[in-house]
Chains A and B, each alone.
Chain A
Amino acid sequence: MEWLLNALETTSLAQYLRTSRWGYAAVNATHILGIALLIGAILPLNLRIFGLWPRVPLSTLAIVLVPVAAFGLALASIAGAILFSIRAQEYAALGVLWVKLTLIGLGTIAALALHSSHGMKLEEASRAKLLAHAMVSTTCWIGALLCGRLIAFAGD
């Protein structure tokens, strides 16, 4: 673990970003763009499941929002891994980061499980299953966002 964290910190990208003003800002902004797309897509879909906008067909919304959320997650993950590498040992020592990664893992597994059995045709799933999923999903992604923001304010 120690070896891996050290290896991450000594990559040339991590070393460059540790002192670069605009390079660091660009990766930071990319991370935020990913989060914006992810949460901005997941939340309306979950709110639809909770009962908002009943006239909009669920699968129609899913066709648009699920790929946007997946793209946002990919973007945020890549930029996040790069940000992590800049201070790998210090971030790895933060409990809140591990909670965040766990929530992201759970949210991703829940999404993969739902869409692997129903694709975008979410109407096929039972009401109870959809509600449980939307609740887990909302908790995981909002929780991950809060934990992520706490990283900048935690630290002793």
Chain B
Amino acid sequence: MSKYWLGLAVVLSLTVESSPALAHHGWAWTTGKNIELVGQIKTVRLGNPHGVLQVDVGGALWTFEVGQPWRNERAGLKESDLVEGVRVRVIGEPAADPSDKRLKVERLFLGDREYELYPERD
């Protein structure tokens, strides 16, 4: 019987892997501290459950998690603002795992204009 549980645990742990485009729920996976990054948008996927941008930051490909459609809209972002080739500056929390180049955006800048996705966070 212990083999049965061990087998199940192995199967579960092996399959918890990846899809680069899906985003994470909540903030538990971040460092809890803000950093700032600047880069050029490579791919965009907006919409529920989370919006995701792949961004070239000085040659490294980062995944920026932006808001759900209502959050982006509340911040004043339009779908046409976030498209391939656009230069973005973001402030947000990176993944606690440094090998995971992923950041959850709290504030986003296009040129000088600031878009606050999470006004209640620092």
Contacts and interface: CB of A to CB of B under 8 A. Distances in A.
A2 B25 CA distance: 26
Contacts, number: 75
Given A93-B19, A95-B16, A95-B17, A152 B25 contact: yes
Interface string B1-23: 00000001001101111111111
A24 B48 contact: yes
Interface residues of A, number: 27
Interface string B84-110: 000000000000000010100000000
Nearest to B65: A155
Contact of A21 (B8, B11, B21, B68): B68
B48 A17 contact: yes
B25 A98 contact: no
Q: Taking chain A's interface residues, is the majority helix, strand, or loop, or is none over half, making it mixed?
A: helix
Interface size class of B (residues with CB under 8 A): 20 to 34
Contact of B16 (A18, A21, A93, A154): A154
Interface string B59-96: 00001000011100000000000000000000000000
13 contacts: A21-B68, A21-B69, A24-B48, A24-B68, A87-B22, A90-B21, A96-B15, A98-B15, A99-B12, A151-B22, A154-B19, A155-B19, A155-B23
Listed from nearest, the 5 A-B pairs whose CB atoms lie closest are A155-B22, A95-B15, A18-B47, A152-B25, A21-B70
